[in-house]
């Protein structure tokens, strides 16, 4: 239950960083969805490691195998299971920190909670698990595509330098998923400098959901914004989420309220959500990622026996996780939206009559 997400569109992920495979079982997918396996592959390719110098050099093909739930190109209404075999595990890179906790990573808490130290690439706490989420998100996007609902994301800030533009089309072709080609140049220098200095950087992702109907989101503990926030903070290294205009808390009421006319809202400081329910505007959120914890600078730590030690890391790591993380934010948003769409279908008698009368 704690490895699952969603109420009706519900997925469960399994696997560890250096285990045999990772994967996902997705339940609640309606029968008859056009299953686009090429799209699934392309989504995983967007997140996969080793593509360029802005990502970890671990080389994984991330080729999915669909084991169930699809027949003759359509979903069957039964659980869809997708497995991705790990190929490029190098557990020996971690042998020198076998008993040592990496500062900033989950080694310390996983060991103290479970009493087991799976030192191989972080085990289950590794963001390798997020490939399985991207597979679930790809299936969710196949449903959204049929409803013309679009989700897009890109990087808006790296190392404290914020983009001036938000060009989601540019983000699609940028190696950094950058929303701004000018800021991108500065970010590349910052990332190269951080790498030379054996350091890492944090960043911010902006995400937009277009063409949502009014009415998605359930009061009071399954609000659209609260579940989106929960979905995002469940992603490794995410430390914060802002719904709507990130300066709202600095504005006064006159400035912040989105006035309403017959044709719609005159602004979108609310980020498309009021009272936890979509208002028909674009849903806009920002997601804040901390710097990659695994860095190649000696740092102070302790080992599992309580001795004070110095950590010297080997291995391959993302210099900044927000870049690949942006693909994961899209996947999680897609899963949330599909779940909310399915839930909303039961919320009015007229909807139920449409099906049963």
User: Which residues in this chain contact ligand FMN in the complex, by CB under 6 A?
Assistant: 56, 105-106, 125-127, 130, 235-237, 290, 292-294, 317-318, 321, 324-325, 328
Q: Report the alpha-carbon distance of residue 142 to residue 165 in Å, rounded.
A: 29
Q: 197-206 burial by CB neighbour count: b if 16+ within 10 A, else e?
A: eebbbbbbbb
Q: Closest separation between CB of residue 232 and ligand FMN, Å?
A: 11
Q: Closest separation between CB of residue 84 and ligand FMN, Å?
A: 14
User: Are the beta carbons of 74 and 104 closer than 8 angstroms?
Assistant: no
Q: Closest separation between CB of residue 71 and ligand FMN, Å?
A: 32
Q: Closest separation between CB of residue 127 and ligand FMN, Å?
A: 3
Instruction: Name, in order, each residue with C-beta under 8 angstroms of 215's C-beta and a sequence gap of 6 or more.
Output: 277, 278, 344, 347
* Pairing between β-strand 21-27 and β-strand 264-265 as defined by DSSP bridges: unpaired
What is the DSSP code string of 212-245? PPTT--BTTTB-HHHHHHHHHHTSTTEEEEEES-
Closest CA to 29 of 352, 338, 344: 338
Nearer to ligand FMN, 129 or 180 (CB): 129
Q: Which residues pair with 155 in a beta bridge?
A: 178, 205
Nearer to ligand FMN, 139 or 328 (CB): 328
Nearer to ligand FMN, 224 or 328 (CB): 328
User: Are the beta carbons of 224 and 273 closer than 8 angstroms?
Assistant: yes
User: Are the beta carbons of 165 and 149 closer than 8 angstroms?
Assistant: no
Q: Closest separation between CB of residue 171 and ligand FMN, Å?
A: 16
Nearer to ligand FMN, 244 or 293 (CB): 293
Nearer to ligand FMN, 11 or 35 (CB): 11
Q: Which one-letter DSSP state was computed for residue 320?
A: B
Q: Closest separation between CB of residue 123 and ligand FMN, Å?
A: 10
Q: For tokens 């690439």, name the residue.
A: 121
Closest CA to 240 of 282, 274, 203: 203
Q: Closest separation between CB of residue 104 and ligand FMN, Å?
A: 6
CA separation (Å) from 308 to 100, 103, 312?
A: 9, 12, 13
Q: For ligand FMN, which residue has the nearest CB?
A: 294
Nearer to ligand FMN, 273 or 287 (CB): 287
Nearer to ligand FMN, 171 or 341 (CB): 171
Q: Closest separation between CB of residue 88 and ligand FMN, Å?
A: 13
Nearer to ligand FMN, 103 or 280 (CB): 103
């Amino acid at each position: 239950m704690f490895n699952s997400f969603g109420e009706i569109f519900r997925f469960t992920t399994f696997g560890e960083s250096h285990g045999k495979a990772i994967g996902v079982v997705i339940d609640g997918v309606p029968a008859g969805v056009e299953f686009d396996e090429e799209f699934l592959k392309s989504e995983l390719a967007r997140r996969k490691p080793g593509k360029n110098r802005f990502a970890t050099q671990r080389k994984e093909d991330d080729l999915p195998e669909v084991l169930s739930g699809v027949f003759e190109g359509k979903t069957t209404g039964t659980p869809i299971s997708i497995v991705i075999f790990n190929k490029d595990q190098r557990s020996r890179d971690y042998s020198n920190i076998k008993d040592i906790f990496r500062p900033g990573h989950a080694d310390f808490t996983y060991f103290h909670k479970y009493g087991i130290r799976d030192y191989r690439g972080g085990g289950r706490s590794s963001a390798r698990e997020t490939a399985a989420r991207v597979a679930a998100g790809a299936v969710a996007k196949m449903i959204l595509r049929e409803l013309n609902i679009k989700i897009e994301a890109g990087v808006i800030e790296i190392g404290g330098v914020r983009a001036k533009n938000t060009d989601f089309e540019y983000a699609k072709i940028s190696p950094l998923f950058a929303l701004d080609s000018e800021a991108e140049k500065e970010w590349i220098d910052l990332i190269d400098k951080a790498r030379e200095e054996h350091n890492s950087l944090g960043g911010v992702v902006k995400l937009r959901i277009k063409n949502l109907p009014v009415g998605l989101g359930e009061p009071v503990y399954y609000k659209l914004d609260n579940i989106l926030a929960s979905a995002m903070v469940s992603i490794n290294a995410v430390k914060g989420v802002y719904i709507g205009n990130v300066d709202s808390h600095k504005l006064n009421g006159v400035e912040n309220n989105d006035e309403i006319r017959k044709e719609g809202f005159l602004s979108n400081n609310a980020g498309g959500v009021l009272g936890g329910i979509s208002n028909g505007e674009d849903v806009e959120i920002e997601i804040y990622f901390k710097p990659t914890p695994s860095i190649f600078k000696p740092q102070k730590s302790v080992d599992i026996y309580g001795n004070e030690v110095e950590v010297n890391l080997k291995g391959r790591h993302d210099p900044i996780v927000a870049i690949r993380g942006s693909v994961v934010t899209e996947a999680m948003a897609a899963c949330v939206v599909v779940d909310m769409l399915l839930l909303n279908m039961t919320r009015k008698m007229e909807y139920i009559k449409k099906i049963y009368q």
